[in-house]
Amino acid sequence: MEENTIFIGNKPVMNYVLAVVTQFNEYDSVTLRARGKAISRAVDTAEIVRNSFVQEADVADIQISTEEVENYNNEKTNVSIIEIRLVK
C-alpha cells in the first residue's frame, strides 16, 4: 500500500475531500481506497476534488477487485473494492 492512500469510510464526503487536498500539498499522487457502499463516496470525493479544489488533478487509474472478509457471525463474504489514483 502506497503511503498516500486515503481509506474512504462512512464520514461526510468533505472530510475525505479535505484529506485528499492536504495530501496533494505534499504528494503528486493520491490513491483513494474504498469497500462496499463507501465506493460511491470515493467516486464523489475524487470528482469534487477534481471539479472544485485541484482542477489540474487527473484520474490516472481506477482498479476494482474483490476481497473476502468475515462478517459479524464469522461467515466469509465477498466485498467489492475500488482504488482511484489521482495525479496532478
| Interface contacts to a second copy, rule CB under 8 A | 36-40, 43-44, 46-47, 51, 59, 62-66, 78, 80, 82, 84
Nearer to a second copy, 26 or 88 (CB): 88
d(CA 28, CA 48): 17
Nearer to a second copy, 20 or 39 (CB): 39
Instruction: Give 34: exposed, middle or buried? Use CB within 10 Å, 0-12, 13-18, 19+.
Output: buried
Cell match 462512512: residue?
Answer: 10
Smallest separation (angstroms) from a second copy to the CB of 1: 19
